[in-house]
Each structure stands twice: as structure tokens, then as C-alpha cells.
């Protein structure tokens, strides 16, 4: 047990509490003489705390989310007891609030006593960065890495760099006045990359395997049959997009009529200098562009590929300039966001470019022309255009699509049995491996959880797109450009820069044994007491970041540098043999047991006997509670809030412990889950919800009502609703009556 010091701040309204009674808790229950200070965060107050020699320091003051620069002390365990936002700003000060403050102090002291000082996992790491894919995104990424003083390896599967942009005749404008097309930027980028001494380029190369962990990724590439090996610290995936298969668009005439082509095929023609009819090689004078071909369509690509409207405007100009012809663009909506409006306006000025909104009803061949019939036009009349050539504005799919999907793990139904997830293994059979081999891999990761970056809906790389767009579900591996979302080249350049910054942050942090977001800088990592492991595989299957490999028996093989410290493995383990030095089963269980639960047989009054626990995810729910407090919203003082790394880190033993010690109701507040999840650890809140099945069994065994334990999804913006959610839960459980285990 640690030597612990206790500090009680009386600033910011905390002095409304009975400080003498708080002091007594520390003195009489734990034998620790507390230091009371009027404003601990002052220079002088902070100095006193910093000079304290105890291993564990309890600061009973403001929320752990504020003043971190003042109270985070390296080499010590600091437990922040939230008396300000958690008690005085969110409750009327009365006996209940006083009891709440005293319980929080007890919980803080035992947590500090039970914590250990973590040692970082230090290894000899590499700070070099691998970029996969040499399109505009990958080229930019490699250059940015080199400019920041790091060494880059660029691996491109084709013999030439440049990606799709290098196959274009001209490119959209990237500079004012944004009304003329330009030479594709990739040519300049290729020159800069190939002449930069900090970038090693491998063309005609693919990745054979990547093993290890961030800071220590061992990469083997295959270049024209020869193996090359090197070690990198992080990876930027920039493998871009593949065109949607136009053969699926027979309804628009593709594959049926030779003179119906895709926008990519037109780009190729323009590059060769002539816009022609493939059927007879004659110059095409009247060209119809059909927008959203197989896009924004639930039967094909349900999303917008974001550039096709601009591309058709650009290509209409090709028709004007290369064949002095006419272009007709039929669109559902013309999407030219931001500064691209300038380009749109410029094209509208050209009287040879005709644009209308409309619904294409039929396409057929007549007199060696392609007839396009359009209804619901802006002109108010139906159109019948006889064209030499029809160009379909087809869209982009991520190169990750079809390689490895976790879609099944996020079924729209939230009621899928908990067990389902255990049965799911990304690669289930030899046949599946063979199938995947046919599609061709990108990264070939030697991870127990599969060789590629997991994808979500539509096949783009999976990340918490709201907060962390470049992140993948593999620490140290970042996605940028069209592999992540459809975008134009200017956006790809921005994206590459963002991903590179993330990669640099990763190599620097892992070199010090630290993790990345959202627990950036945390050196604590899970410890496994494997002597008692039953090889149930829950931890290895549930770790959202693939941090845990497995030996042939199913015993976890941790890779600490891949770990994001979410605690989901800790929440999963039925044997309770996974623990962090500063987030352990003993620590949380002891904190739960430190709550004073009144015994109805000797305490008077109906109200006081109730006690509730809220496990609040520290990423959204806990800050939402702080914000509610800041805005003066109040909630029941009978509730004890316990911040957790993620709802997935709540082991069901905590719930069993709480129920058997007389807690009347337990609420788990965490992030949204499902396809559009906001969980910072991807699956944590979903797993918590699934674990409720086990909790229901516990409740049944104890003959307790199922309503006593509930999971509710909240986001940080729900701060104004959270107090009401808590109060409603408290009221509902009160209707059930007190937990009969009180006093046992
Ligand atoms: C018809 C058309 C015209 C367009 N015109 C424009 C335009 O004028 N201006 C504009 O801004 N945008 C335009 N776009 C969009 C533009 O093509 C994309 O924004 C751009 O290509 C995205 O670049 P990227 O580097 O992310 O992907 P990509 O261009 O797809 O590059 C990815 C690279 O990765 C390589 N690669 C793939 N898999 C592997 C692997 N396993 N191992 C190694 N390497 C791999 C590929 O060979 C490729 O070189 C157009 C799109 C279309 C459909
Ligand atoms: S803490 Fe999270 S990321 Fe780390 S091993 Fe456990 S489940 Fe995986
Ligand atoms: S969850 Fe616990 S018991 Fe199961 S495999 Fe992992 S460490 Fe072993």
C-alpha cells in the first residue's frame, strides 16, 4: 500500500462543505493528517503539493479534467477528488452533499493507497516512417516526413509514382482564381520525392508482411520478386481508391453500347489528345455527362464521391477545347463546394456547356447515336438528347474495401447476443484466407486480429471520424487520402499532412513507452497474471486495437506498444487477471466498498438509505457531467460517480460487488455505439452493453430487478440532459425499493 498524502482545497466554493468533517474522514478512517489550503492551484499551493514526498497524492479540489498542468506530477500517483464540479457546483449543499463529498474522499484515498507507480515499456525503437502508396497523398506524406527531419520509405505497387492523378489529362485548379484547369501537381511532387535524400522509394513493390508493434514494425517488401526488409516506427496508408465497377451500370448503357464510357476512360482519351466515339473512332461532338452514375444510390454506392461534379465540369471543357463540341451535364445536384464555386461559374459562362438537373429515364442507341431521355428538368420539359458519346460520372471505392471488414461487429441491431462477438474472428477459415489472397492484401499485418486495417460502412478505413479522422484501429498506422474518404487532390494533401503529424507523434511517444490518444502520454499498460489464464480468448478477441496476439493454446501475447490503454481487456477478463498499475480490480473494487451505504435497520428515514453508482466514461460522459455542473445543473446527491477509461473497462465484478454491498442501482454512461459510434475506443461501449447479459444473470441470481443496472449512451453535447437521465434512473430504482442486501 502506498504512503498517501491528502490535500483539501477550500477555494471555488468548496468551503461551503463542512471541511472539519472531511478532515476527520482522512484522520480517523485512514490516519492521514490532511493539508487544507485556500487555493491549491496557486503557485504556492502547487509548490507544496510538488514537494510532497508521498507516493500517492490525493487532491480534493476541482475536476480531474482541469488544472492537469498543475497537478500531474511525474513519478507519483495523483488522485483527483472532484469536490468542486462533482459536489458543490452540482448539488445543493446539505447533509446529502456532505456525505457525497466524504464518500468521494474515501474513494480517492483508497484508490491512491492501492495504486502503483508504473514503469514505461522502453525498447529500442525506430522513428522512420513507411508510406504505402505513391499517389498525391503518399507523395505528399513522404515529403512532409522528410521535411520534418524523419526518414521515409515509400512503397508503390505500380512501376510509376503518381496514382490516378498522373493518369489525368489536366487537373482541377488548386490556386486562385480557381477557374482554369492546370497540370496535375503530382509531376512536381514526384520530382521532389525522387530527389530527396531522406526518402527511399520502392516502385513495383508490395508489402509481403509487417510484424511487430509501433516503433518496431518489421516490414518485408517484395520488389519484382526480391525481398527487402527494414524497420519503421509508424505507417501512413495512402493506397487511395479504385473505380466503381461500371459493368454494374448496364441500366445506363455501360457494357451495352460502346459509346457509353466512364469519366476515367474519357480522361484517358483526353490525355491521348482526342475525344472520340469508341464505336467508330470518329470525333465526338455532342457529349452527355450523367452525374451520380451508381452513386448516392443504395443499390450501388450510397455515398457521394465528392469530386465527380467538378470532374465532369472539367471534362466538359475538354470537349469544348479538344473537339470544339458541346457538352450536356445532367445532374441530381451540382456539388461544387467552397472555392470550387468559381470553377462552376466559369464553366456556366461557356455557351457550349449545357447544365440541367434531371432524371435520366432511358438510354438507347438510334441511328448510331446514343439517345438520352431526361425528365424533371429545370426547364420544366422532358429532354431527348442525341449524343455521340455518353460519359458516366462513376465514383470511388476505398482500396481497403473487401479486404477485411468489421461490419458484422457493428450490426445495426443492438441486441445481438454478447457471445456473437467471441465467435467472430476476422479470418475464420483457410478458404477465407485464400479468398482474401485473391483480392490482394495491402499491409499483411501479422496481427491476431487480421492482416488489414478494419473498415466500417462503405469500406473506408475505420476511425472515430468525428474526433480522430486519421486514426485507424491499429496504433501507429494512419490512413490518409481516398483510402479514408473520397476527396480531391487538395484535400488529399491536407490529409497527408494530418496523418504525418499523427505518425510523428506516434514514433516520438512510443520511443518513451507512451501511448497516443485519447490517453496520450500514458505509460501504464496492462499486466497479465497468466498463471491463472483459462485461455478463454475474451481479451484477445475484444481488444479493439489488435494489441494482443495469441499463442497456439490461446494465451494472450501482449504487444504493449500497440496498446491504447482503454482497459477493455481488463473489463473482459472473467478471471480478473489483467490489471494496470493505476487502474486495477482491487483499486476500483476497494473504492466501491469505501462508499458508506446506510444500513436501513439502524438509520432513520426512507430517502437516505438509497445509494447509486454511475460509471461514467472519462471521454464524454464525465466531461458532460462537469459541463452540467459548470452550468449550474443539479442531480441526485445519492449518486457516486466513478470515472472509467471506457465503459468497456467496467468489469462485471464491479457491478456484482456494488450490488452485494447494498448499492441500489448502477448506471453506466458511455459513448454512442453502432455504425456511427463515438466510442473513443471503438467497441468499448458496445461491449459494455453486451456484457449486460452476464449482469442480468447476476441480478437473477441475487433475485434483484433487471432495472437496477442500465447502460445509457450519451455524448459530450448531452451535458444538459445528463442530470435528468441520472435523476430519472434514481427515481425509477427508488420505485423498486431498497436493495435487500444492505447491511449484509
Ligand atoms: C475521372 C477522375 C478525374 C479526377 N480529376 C481530378 C482532378 O482534376 N483534380 C483533383 O483534385 N482530383 C481529381 N480526381 C480525384 C483524384 O483522382 C483523387 O483525389 C486522387 O487520386 C487521390 O489520391 P490518393 O493518393 O489518395 O490515391 P490514388 O491516386 O489512388 O493513389 C494511390 C496509390 O497507391 C498505390 N497502391 C494501391 N494499392 C497499393 C498497395 N497494395 N501497395 C502499394 N501501393 C499501392 C496505387 O498504385 C496508387 O499509386 C479525379 C477523379 C476521377 C475519378
Ligand atoms: S488496454 Fe485496450 S488496447 Fe490495451 S491490450 Fe487491453 S484492450 Fe487492448
Ligand atoms: S480474458 Fe483473462 S482468462 Fe481469458 S484469455 Fe484473456 S487473460 Fe486469459
The ligand whose atoms approach the alpha carbon of 569 most closely is 2
Mutate to test the pocket of ligand 3, among 537, 551, 573, 576 (most ligand atoms within 8 A of CB): 573
Q: Which domain holds residue 220?
A: 129-240+399-403+440-511
CA of 87 to the centre of ligand 3 (A): 38
Cβ–ligand 2 contact at 568 (below 6 Å): yes
Cβ–ligand 2 contact at 567 (below 6 Å): yes
The ligand whose atoms approach the alpha carbon of 545 most closely is 2
Instruction: Give the nearest ligand 2 atom to 542 CA.
Output: 7
pLDDT at 410: 38
Mutate to test the pocket of ligand 2, among 517, 559, 565 (most ligand atoms within 8 A of CB): 565
Residue 378: pLDDT band with limits 50, 70, 90: confident
pLDDT at 259: 97
pLDDT at 462: 82
Mutate to test the pocket of ligand 1, among 130, 132, 135, 209 (most ligand atoms within 8 A of CB): 135
Nearest C-alpha to atom 7 of ligand 3 is from which residue? 533
Residue 408: pLDDT band with limits 50, 70, 90: very low
CA of 536 to the centre of ligand 3 (A): 5
**In the predicted model, what is the mean pLDDT of residues 551-578?**
95
- Beta-carbon contacts of 382 under 8 Å, excluding residues fewer than 6 positions away, are 373, 374, 375
CA of 423 to the centre of ligand 2 (A): 19
The ligand whose atoms approach the alpha carbon of 482 most closely is 1
Domain count, the chain: 3
Stronger pLDDT, 469 or 18, i.e. the higher one: 18
Q: Is 421 contained in some domain?
A: no
**What CA–CA distances, in Å, run from 552 to 70, 309, 448, 661?**
47, 52, 11, 40
pLDDT at 585: 95
Looking at the structure, tell me whether residues 250 and 366 fall in a common domain. yes
Helix/strand/coil (H, E, C) string of 93-142?
CCHHHHHHHHHHHHHHHHHHHHCCCCCCCCCCCCCCEEEECCCHHHHHHH
Q: Is 620 contained in some domain?
A: no
Stronger pLDDT, 243 or 462, i.e. the higher one: 243
- 652: cell is 462485471
CA of 542 to the centre of ligand 2 (A): 8
Give percent of the chain with pLDDT exceeding 70: 93
CA of 166 to the centre of ligand 1 (A): 8
- Triad 600, 606, 608: Cα angle to 5°: 75
Residue whose cell numbers read 458484422? 408
Residue 437 has pLDDT above 60, yes or no: no
Q: Tell whether the torsion through CA atoms of 453, 459, 461 and 467 is positive or negative.
A: negative
Assess contact for 497 and 140: CB atoms under 8 A. Answer: yes
Stronger pLDDT, 338 or 419, i.e. the higher one: 338
Looking at the structure, tell me whether residues 167 and 39 fall in a common domain. no
Cβ–ligand 2 contact at 475 (below 6 Å): no
Cβ–ligand 2 contact at 474 (below 6 Å): no
Cβ–ligand 2 contact at 451 (below 6 Å): no
Residue 424 has pLDDT above 70, yes or no: no
Domain boundary among 117, 152, 187: 117
Residue 542 has pLDDT above 50, yes or no: yes
Residue whose cell numbers read 476527520? 24
Looking at the structure, tell me whether residues 67 and 55 fall in a common domain. yes
Helix axes of 585-594 and 652-660: crossing angle, nearest 10 degrees = 20
Secondary structure tally for the chain: helices H, strands E: 20, 30
Cβ–ligand 2 contact at 572 (below 6 Å): no
Residue whose cell numbers read 458543490? 88
Looking at the structure, tell me whether residues 252 and 347 fall in a common domain. yes
Residue 254 has pLDDT above 60, yes or no: yes
Assess contact for 18 and 98: CB atoms under 8 A. Answer: yes
Give the predicted TM-score (pTM) of the model.
Answer: 0.92
Domain boundary among 337, 367, 398: 398
Looking at the structure, tell me whether residues 205 and 249 fall in a common domain. no
SS3 helix, strand, coil % of the chain, rounded to 5?
Answer: 35, 20, 45
Looking at the structure, tell me whether residues 277 and 223 fall in a common domain. no
Instruction: Give the nearest ligand 3 atom to 538 CA.
Output: 1
**Mean pLDDT rounded to a whole number for the chain:** 91
CA of 77 to the centre of ligand 1 (A): 49
The ligand whose atoms approach the alpha carbon of 560 most closely is 2
Looking at the structure, tell me whether residues 91 and 139 fall in a common domain. no
Question: 305: helix, coil or strand?
Answer: coil
pLDDT at 452: 85
Burial class (CB in 10 A: 0-12, 13-18, 19+), 438: exposed
Looking at the structure, tell me whether residues 36 and 76 fall in a common domain. yes
Residue 696 has pLDDT above 80, yes or no: yes
Q: How far apart are CA 252 and CA 100, in angstroms?
A: 68
Q: Is 62 contained in some domain?
A: yes
For the ranges 149-163, 557-571, 594-608, which has the lowest average pLDDT? Answer: 594-608
CA of 343 to the centre of ligand 1 (A): 21
- 654: cell is 464491479
Q: Is 76 contained in some domain?
A: yes
**In the predicted model, what is the mean pLDDT of residues 228-238?**
98
Instruction: Give the nearest ligand 2 atom to 580 CA.
Output: 1
Domain boundary among 467, 496, 511: 511
CA of 587 to the centre of ligand 3 (A): 19
Secondary element (H or E) of residue 21: helix 19-24
pLDDT at 674: 77
Q: Is 585 contained in some domain?
A: no
Q: How many CB atoms lie within 10 A of CB 575?
A: 13
CA of 641 to the centre of ligand 3 (A): 28
Question: Among residues 380, 324, 373, 375, which one has the least CA distance to residue 352?
Answer: 324
Mutate to test the pocket of ligand 2, among 520, 569, 691 (most ligand atoms within 8 A of CB): 569
Residue 450 has pLDDT above 90, yes or no: no
Quickly list DSSP for 363-404. EEEETTEEEEEEES-TTSS-EEEEESEEEE---EEETTTTT-
Looking at the structure, tell me whether residues 310 and 210 fall in a common domain. no
Cβ–ligand 2 contact at 573 (below 6 Å): no
CA of 566 to the centre of ligand 2 (A): 5
Question: 341: helix, coil or strand?
Answer: helix
Looking at the structure, tell me whether residues 66 and 191 fall in a common domain. no
CA of 556 to the centre of ligand 3 (A): 7
Per-residue pLDDT of 666-694, as tens digits, reads 999 999 887 778 889 988 998 998 888 88
pLDDT at 607: 52
Question: Among residues 227, 206, 215, which one has the least CA distance to residue 132?
Answer: 206
Per-residue pLDDT of 635-663, as tens digits, reads 999 999 999 999 999 999 999 999 988 99
- Rounded to 10 degrees, the C-alpha dihedral 324/325/331/335 comes to 0
Residue 250 has pLDDT above 80, yes or no: yes
Mutate to test the pocket of ligand 2, among 567, 579, 679 (most ligand atoms within 8 A of CB): 567
CA of 307 to the centre of ligand 1 (A): 12
Residue 426 has pLDDT above 50, yes or no: no
Assess contact for 54 and 78: CB atoms under 8 A. Answer: no
Q: Is 609 contained in some domain?
A: no
Looking at the structure, tell me whether residues 213 and 329 fall in a common domain. no
Q: How many CB atoms lie within 10 A of CB 242?
A: 17
pLDDT at 456: 78
Mutate to test the pocket of ligand 2, among 121, 548, 644 (most ligand atoms within 8 A of CB): 548
**In the predicted model, what is the mean pLDDT of residues 256-284?**
96
Nearest C-alpha to atom 35 of ligand 1 is from which residue? 133
Q: Is 669 contained in some domain?
A: no
Mutate to test the pocket of ligand 1, among 307, 310, 453 (most ligand atoms within 8 A of CB): 307
Burial class (CB in 10 A: 0-12, 13-18, 19+), 151: middle
For the ranges 284-288, 342-346, 425-429, which has the lowest average pLDDT? Answer: 425-429
Residue 431: pLDDT band with limits 50, 70, 90: low
Nearest C-alpha to atom 6 of ligand 3 is from which residue? 539
**In the predicted model, what is the mean pLDDT of residues 215-235?**
97
Assess contact for 248 and 256: CB atoms under 8 A. Answer: no
The CATH number given to whatever domain includes residue 389 is: 3.50.50.60
CA of 275 to the centre of ligand 1 (A): 22
Q: How far apart are CA 272 and CA 3, in angstroms?
A: 78
Per-residue pLDDT of 9-59, as tens digits, reads 999 999 999 999 999 999 999 999 999 999 999 999 999 999 999 999 999
Q: Is 638 contained in some domain?
A: no
Question: Which residues does ligand 1 sit against, CB inside 6 Å?
Answer: 132-138, 155-158, 163-165, 168, 171-172, 206, 238-241, 263-264, 267, 307, 311, 314, 399, 442, 481-482, 487-490, 492
pLDDT at 338: 87
The ligand whose atoms approach the alpha carbon of 264 most closely is 1
The ligand whose atoms approach the alpha carbon of 535 most closely is 3
CA of 192 to the centre of ligand 1 (A): 18
Question: Which residues does ligand 3 sit against, CB inside 6 Å?
Answer: 528, 533-539, 556, 572-573, 575, 577-578
CA of 651 to the centre of ligand 2 (A): 14
Residue 459: pLDDT band with limits 50, 70, 90: confident
Looking at the structure, tell me whether residues 5 and 34 fall in a common domain. yes
CA of 513 to the centre of ligand 3 (A): 24
The CATH number given to whatever domain includes residue 83 is: 3.40.50
Amino acid at each position: 500500500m502506498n504512503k498517501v498524502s491528502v490535500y483539501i482545497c477550500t477555494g471555488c466554493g468548496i468551503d461551503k462543505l463542512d471541511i472539519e468533517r472531511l478532515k476527520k474522514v482522512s484522520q480517523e478512517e485512514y490516519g492521514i493528517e490532511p493539508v487544507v489550503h485556500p487555493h491549491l492551484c496557486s503557485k504556492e499551493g502547487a509548490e507544496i503539493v510538488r514537494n510532497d514526498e508521498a507516493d500517492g497524492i490525493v487532491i480534493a479540489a476541482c475536476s480531474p479534467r482541469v488544472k492537469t498542468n498543475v497537478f500531474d506530477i511525474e513519478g507519483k500517483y495523483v488522485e483527483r477528488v472532484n469536490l468542486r464540479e462533482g459536489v458543490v457546483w452540482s448539488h445543493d449543499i446539505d447533509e446529502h452533499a456532505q456525505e457525497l463529498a466524504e464518500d468521494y474522499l474515501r474513494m480517492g484515498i483508497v484508490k491512491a493507497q492501492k495504486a502503483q507507480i508504473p514503469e514505461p515499456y522502453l525498447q529500442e525503437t525506430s522513428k522512420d516512417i513507411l508510406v504505402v502508396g505513391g499517389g498525391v497523398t503518399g507523395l505528399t506524406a513522404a515529403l512532409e516526413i522528410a521535411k520534418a527531419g524523419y526518414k521515409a520509405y515509400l512503397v508503390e505497387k505500380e512501376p510509376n509514382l503518381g496514382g490516378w492523378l498522373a493518369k489525368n489529362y489536366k487537373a482541377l485548379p488548386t490556386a486562385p482564381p480557381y477557374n482554369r484547369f492546370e497540370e496535375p501537381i503530382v509531376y512536381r511532387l514526384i520530382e521532389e520525392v525522387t530527389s530527396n535524400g531522406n526518402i527511399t522509394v520502392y516502385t513495383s513493390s508490395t508489402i509481403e508482411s509487417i510484424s511487430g508493434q509501433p516503433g518496431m514494425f518489421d516490414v518485408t517488401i517484395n520488389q519484382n520478386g526480391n525481398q527487402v526488409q527494414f524497420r519503421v516506427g509508424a505507417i501512413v496508408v495512402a493506397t487511395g481508391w479504385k473505380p466503381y465497377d461500371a459493368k454494374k451500370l448496364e441500366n445506363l448503357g455501360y457494357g451495352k453500347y460502346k459509346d457509353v464510357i466512364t469519366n476515367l476512360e474519357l480522361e484517358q482519351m483526353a490525355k491521348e489528345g482526342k475525344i472520340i466515339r469508341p464505336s467508330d473512332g470518329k470525333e465526338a461532338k455532342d457529349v452527355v455527362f450523367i452525374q451520380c452514375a451508381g452513386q448516392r444510390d443504395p443499390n450501388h454506392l450510397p455515398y457521394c464521391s465528392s469530386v465527380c461534379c467538378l470532374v465532369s465540369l472539367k471534362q466538359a471543357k475538354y470537349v469544348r477545347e479538344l473537339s470544339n463540341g458541346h457538352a450536356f451535364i445532367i445532374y441530381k445536384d451540382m456539388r461544387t463546394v467552397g472555392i470550387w464555386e468559381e470553377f462552376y461559374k466559369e464553366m456556366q459562362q461557356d455557351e457550349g456547356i449545357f447544365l440541367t438537373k434531371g432524371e435520366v429515364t432511358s438510354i438507347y442507341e438510334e441511328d448510331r447515336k446514343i439517345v438520352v431521355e431526361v425528365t424533371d428538368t429545370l426547364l420544366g420539359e422532358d429532354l431527348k438528347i442525341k449524343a455521340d458519346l455518353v460519359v458516366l460520372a462513376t465514383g470511388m471505392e476505398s482500396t481497403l474495401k473487401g479486404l477485411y471488414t468489421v461490419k458484422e461487429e457493428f450490426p445495426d441491431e443492438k441486441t445481438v447476443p454478447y457471445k456473437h462477438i467471441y465467435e467472430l474472428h476476422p479470418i475464420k477459415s483457410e478458404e477465407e484466407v485464400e479468398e482474401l489472397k485473391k483480392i490482394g492484401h495491402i499491409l499483411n499485418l501479422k496481427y491476431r486480429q487480421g492482416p488489414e486495417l478494419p473498415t466500417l460502412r462503405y469500406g473506408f478505413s475505420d476511425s472515430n471520424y468525428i474526433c480522430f479522422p486519421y486514426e485507424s484501429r491499429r496504433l501507429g498506422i494512419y490512413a490518409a487520402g481516398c483510402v479514408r474518404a473520397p476527396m480531391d487532390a487538395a484535400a488529399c494533401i491536407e490529409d497527408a499532412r494530418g496523418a504525418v503529424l499523427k505518425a510523428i507523434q506516434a514514433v516520438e511517444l512510443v520511443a518513451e513507452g507512451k501511448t497516443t490518444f485519447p490517453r496520450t502520454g500514458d505509460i501504464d499498460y496492462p499486466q497479465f497474471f497468466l498463471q491463472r489464464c483459462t485461455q478463454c480468448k475474451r481479451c484477445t478477441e475484444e481488444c479493439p486495437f489488435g494489441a494482443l496476439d495469441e499463442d497456439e493454446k490461446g494465451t494472450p501475447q501482449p504487444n504493449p506498444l500497440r496498446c491504447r490503454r482503454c482497459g477493455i481487456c481488463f473489463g473482459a477478463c472473467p478471471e480478473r487477471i489483467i490489471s494496470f498499475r493505476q487502474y486495477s480490480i482491487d483499486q476500483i473494487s476497494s473504492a466501491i466498498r469505501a462508499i458508506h451505504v446506510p444500513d436501513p435497520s439502524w438509520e432513520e428515514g426512507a430517502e437516505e438509505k438509497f445509494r447509486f453508482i454511475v460509471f461514467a466514461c472519462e471521454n464524454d460522459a464525465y466531461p458532460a457531467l462537469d459541463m452540467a455542473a459548470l452550468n449550474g445543473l443539479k442531480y441526485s446527491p445519492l449518486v457516486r460517480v466513478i470515472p472509467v477509461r471506457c465503459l468497456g473497462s467496467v468489469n462485471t465484478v464491479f457491478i456484482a460487488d456494488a450490488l452485494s454491498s447494498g448499492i441500489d442501482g448502477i448506471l453506466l454512461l458511455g459513448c454512442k455505439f453502432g455504425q456511427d459510434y463515438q466510442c473513443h475506443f471503438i467497441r468499448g461501449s458496445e461491449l459494455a452493453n453486451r456484457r449486460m447479459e452476464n449482469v442480468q444473470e447476476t441480478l437473477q441470481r441475487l433475485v434483484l430487478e433487471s432495472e437496477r443496472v442500465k447502460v445509457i449512451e450519451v455524448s459530450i453535447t448531452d451535458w444538459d440532459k445528463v442530470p435528468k437521465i441520472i435523476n430519472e434512473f434514481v427515481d425509477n430504482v427508488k420505485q423498486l425499493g431498497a436493495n435487500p442486501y444492505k447491511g449484509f
